[in-house]
A and B are shown apart, each in its own frame.
Chain A
């Protein structure tokens, strides 16, 4: 593969070197196209924040066989723990799998740190022949006769032409908005994630979380952890640190007047979390938005000369049980690349010529997954589902297990009492039950 050369114009210009952009650039470059990959950070990943539990191992393995052997990964995920919290109690679902593909290649998921991972991934795109420019902000697209024909970067003589522009510029996607593919977002459609990386000795991590070697665990928390703010929390084990964070819907942070970093402190102090983080030392604090509303935020995905992928297109599944964006970013990045490659081959770049993007998104299971989970965001936005029920479950269990010499109660009467205590109406519960089922079961 030839080294990338600086030229006046490119076949494909990819904006943003996150997982969506770097995979798109990699695939296009491998197909022999002239690719320009533009990133505003000092290095790829400098602006990016995730948990990060990366569930796209199999996808990446198709592109770079045994990628985990060379990439900066922290630990592979062999256990997932979903905890329902009340202020003092937690009930957890512990999923431990030593099955095929979980603890063996290609592994189901890896915990990664984005600044390192993104940098590596962009280097792979470069090695495939893409021309990467960092420290370069794209301010606008170039248009001719209503068609997108390139981008304008914030530098002198900053206009550069490309046959196809792929916008992978993340959740705030100014590019998609400039072109009119995306509208302005509302505060209830986005969540703010605040995160800390806490340094901790690897042997302590392995003892404390009962892990051996490269095994890792991903905890997800629902319920009282974010108090009355819609959201959740996570804790992942890195090699020699923990990644933990709290996620809160922006509108409900505003309504409840909660400061995100204070929620984070309270999360760490929760009796179920405190022993896990004891003795760890803060290494970095960070924050980033998450597009929560998935399908309903989906922009028009393409126009003449331009495609949108990743978070910029709202392809982030953030709904209760799931927080998966990196894998969908890659899948949609690949679908966009495949579309661009076809377009270049046929030398046609109109919206019609790019409409194959839908087909590719479907083939890569992006649109199918997001259609299937289109009701899940309602789950996040429901106070009862997101905050109340987990808390009811947790405090119900607390009473169930309490031994205080009083008469033991069976589950049903206890449930009735809990319903009274939390003012739950059977009708609401039925409706919510239906929502859960609709969101996750079929």
Chain B
């Protein structure tokens, strides 16, 4: 199993999901700014950003690597509120 789908990749990662999200995407900012770049959709290594027809974004924090790429790539002020999850929660790499 050398070649794997993204779902198969994500299944190998261990997450301890915190009760509250550490990243919040303000879909309204995405929509109202008419962001056509949609950087987040392409760069997120966990593929957590789902573009919606109305220009908004559907986001789920649960399988996030906490890498910070989305926050760096998005250039709409206020679209992404980013922080680390509470201590001990979030991703736990075992081998990487």
Contacts and interface: CB of A to CB of B under 8 A. Distances in A.
Interface of A: 40-43, 45-50, 113-116, 134-137, 153-155, 171-172, 174, 185-187, 190, 192, 194-198, 241, 243, 250-251, 253-254, 257-261, 265, 268-269, 274, 277-289
Interface in B10-46: 10, 12-13, 16, 37, 39, 42-43, 45-46
B52 interface: no
Interface of B: 1-4, 6, 8-10, 12-13, 16, 37, 39, 42-43, 45-47, 65-69, 72-73, 75, 83-88, 90-96
B94 A115 contact: yes
Nearest to A46: B92
Q: Which among A171, A257, A287 has the greatest number of chain B C-beta atoms within 10 A? A: A287
A198 B95 CA distance: 10
Q: Secondary structure of the B side of the interface?
A: loop
Given A42-B16, A187-B72, A253 B95 contact: no
Contacts of B3: 265, 268-269
A279 B2 contact: yes
A190 B65 CA distance: 16
Nearest to A45: B93
B70 to A, nearest CB: 10
Given A42-B16, A280-B2, A283-B12, A195 B69 contact: no
Contacts of A289: 67-69, 72
A290 to B, nearest CB: 10
B93 A282 contact: no
Given A115-B96, A185-B72, A187-B73, A42 B43 contact: no
Given A42-B92, A172-B68, A261 B9 contact: yes
Nearest to A194: B45
B69 to A, nearest CB: 5
A134 B84 CA distance: 14
Most buried by A among B2, B6, B39, B83: B2
Contacts of B10: 285
A254 B35 CA distance: 13
Given A281-B2, A284-B95, 7 more contacts: A42-B92, A47-B93, A269-B3, A279-B2, A282-B8, A289-B68, A289-B69
Contacts of B90: 47
Contacts of A115: 93-96
Contacts of B92: 41-43, 46-47
A251 B93 CA distance: 26
Contacts of B67: 192, 287-289
Nearest to B42: A257
A276 to B, nearest CB: 10
6 contacts: A42-B88, A48-B96, A194-B45, A260-B45, A268-B2, A284-B13
A45 to B, nearest CB: 7
A286 B43 CA distance: 14
A241 B1 contact: no
A426 B9 CA distance: 44
Contact of B96 (A42, A113, A253, A278): A113
A113 B92 CA distance: 13
